[in-house]
Structure 1
Amino acid sequence: MPEVHFTLRWPDGTEENCYSPSTAIHQHLSAGTAYPMPDFLTRARAGLNAASDRVAAKYGYACSSALDQLARIEARAATQPADGQVTCLQLI
């Protein structure tokens, strides 16, 4: 299953490298696009849950790496301004 690494820029200007175990994240985030925080969180949840579901369909168990990544994103988002924007810099 092809994995995807994606880079985010948070409202405070910090950048974070993230991981998805599946290309499913491409259906939810686009490189070079800035998302309002609530929209970004909805997209990240949908994309990483879809990626975990693909792993489950293939291997019979959810992907803990996708769920861990989502937990890290949600924790970081909680420290950012709710009205800020998150930019997806790249997906590779």
Structure 2
Amino acid sequence: MANIKSAKKRVVIAERNRVHNVAKRSEMRTAVKKVINLCKAGDKEAAKVAFARAEVLLDRAATKGLIHINKAARHKSNLSKKIKALG
């Protein structure tokens, strides 16, 4: 454990940020899985609505540095391909 006051503070802040990041990452992954499951079920309209939400979450995660920009782009591309294949 840290001895210096500022180092102790950084430990607290790092833990707070970690918990926040875990929650945001989980929210993003859940949105992506929801789109995939709707595509498997064949519900194109619901998948489009869910994709719009997932797209926002992916972009926000990439902007905040939670995931890489290219990863967000890859996820969006793959999800849109799945939705278009339903047509």
TM beyond 0.5:
no
Q: Name which structure has the greater RCO, CA cutoff 8 Å, separation 6+.
A: 1
If each structure's helix is expressed as a fraction of its own residues, which one has the higher value? 2
If each structure's strand is expressed as a fraction of its own residues, which one has the higher value? 1
Task: Normalising by structure 1, report the TM-score.
Answer: 0.43
Task: Normalising by structure 2, report the TM-score.
Answer: 0.44
